[in-house]
Amino acid sequence: MLKCIAFDMDDTLLSINLSAFIAVFAKDEATLLADVGRKNPLATFASLTGVMLDLNNNSRSDDDTRTNRAFFDAEIERRCGVALADPVVADAFTYYEREVLPGRNDAIIAARPRPGALEAVDRALDRGYTVALLTNPSFSEACIRTRMGWGSLTDIPFKLVTYMENTTRVKPSPTYYLACAETLGFAPEEILMVGNDPKRDFPTPDCGIQTAYVGHGRRPVRATWAGSMEEFARSFDEVEERFAAYAERRLLDIVQDTSVGH
């Protein structure tokens, strides 16, 4: 039974030129890192982008239980010699992400609510579903809340918003998704993920969470439902029916596999 609808943010609820945003963000933070650590700006940029890549690739051992924030900070200190956890340094980066970054949204980044996004969240809430914002947690809370502001998402009662500080993996790791399900208090089979990324918004390997695809490319084979965000907002009856049918098929497959095994 569907109980929780979890939304991705970038290009799902928030229209944004994500590549342009990441380029601006990485350049600004690398410059700040170079200033704080008195390092070469080009070297710090290379180190910062390398750590961001490792974080997004889940490049660490399975028994590493550090938060994404702790992993990121440790790698920056190892590669750049700057301790991001130092209160003075942390304050400088927090100030940038809370006070400066919000003003960096320009005509190129072009961040704004995606058509149909707020209507979709309102429809989910009206039907009594718990809603969560499972944006890829490769950025700090301050950075993610800045983008939430650009998408008019700040006042939505999300039960969970994921970011560096409260997660230990990023998408599409099932470790990330299962931890979110546990925090939300639902079984994976009770959650529908809504996202635009055919790779990251589908847990890999599958962990029981279904996904509604609102991207622009070819419909992924595993998608429970596919269409635009505006169509998703108008199609809740169909989405619920597809969710239930998919769950029933999966249950039958499990029963058949169990029968064959005996």
List pLDDT tens digits, range 37-47.
Answer: 898 999 999 99
Domain count, the chain: 2
Question: Rounded mean pLDDT of 180-192?
Answer: 98
pLDDT of 137 reads 98
Question: Tokens 């239930």 identify what position?
Answer: 244
Query: How far apart are alpha carbons 119 and 114 in whole angstroms?
Result: 10
Question: What pLDDT sits at residue 250?
Answer: 78
Q: What pLDDT does residue 217 have?
A: 82
Number of other CB atoms surrounding residue 239 within 10 Å: 25
Please tell me the distance from the alpha carbon of residue 217 to that of residue 198, in angstroms, as a whole number: 8
Of the residues 48, 80, 104, which one is the last residue of a structural domain? Answer: 104
Residues 196, 166: one domain? Answer: yes
Residues 11 and 139 in one domain: yes
pLDDT of residue 249: 84
Q: Based on the fold, state whether residues 63 and 153 are members of the same structural domain.
A: no
Rounded to whole angstroms, how far apart are CA atoms 205 and 60?
Answer: 17
pLDDT in tens, 196-222: 999 999 999 999 999 999 999 889 999
Q: Which bin fits 116, alpha (ψ -120 to 50), beta or left (φ > 0)?
A: left
- Residue 89 domain boundaries: 18-104
Q: How confident is the model over 15-27, as pLDDT tens digits?
A: 999 999 999 999 9
List Cα–Cα distances, 81 to 46, 76, 139, in angstroms. 14, 7, 20
One domain for residues 231 and 155: yes
Residues 88 and 152 grouped into a single domain: no
Q: Are residues 118 and 225 in the same domain?
A: yes
**Of 52, 80, 104, which one is at a domain's C-terminal end?**
104
CATH of the domain at 151: 3.40.50.1000
Q: Which of 104, 134, 160 is where one domain is finished?
A: 104
C-beta neighbour count of 84 within 10 angstroms: 21
Residues 189 and 226 in one domain: yes
| 262 has pLDDT over 60 | no
Q: Do 124 and 53 share a structural domain?
A: no
The alpha carbons of the chain give a radius of gyration, in whole angstroms, of 20
Closest CA to 208 of 51, 69, 6, 59: 6
Strand partners, 195: 213
Distance CA 219, CA 212 (A): 10
Q: Is the pTM of this model over 0.85?
A: yes
Q: Tell me what pLDDT residue 152 has.
A: 98
Instruction: Verify that 118 and 163 share a domain, yes or no.
Output: yes
pLDDT at 98: 93
SS (H, E, C) 211-238: EEECCCCCCCCCCCEECCHHHHHHCHHH
Same domain, 235 and 195: yes
In a shared domain, residues 169 and 252: yes
Answer whether residue 255 shows pLDDT above 80: no
Same domain for 100 and 128?
A: no
d(CA 82, CA 51): 13
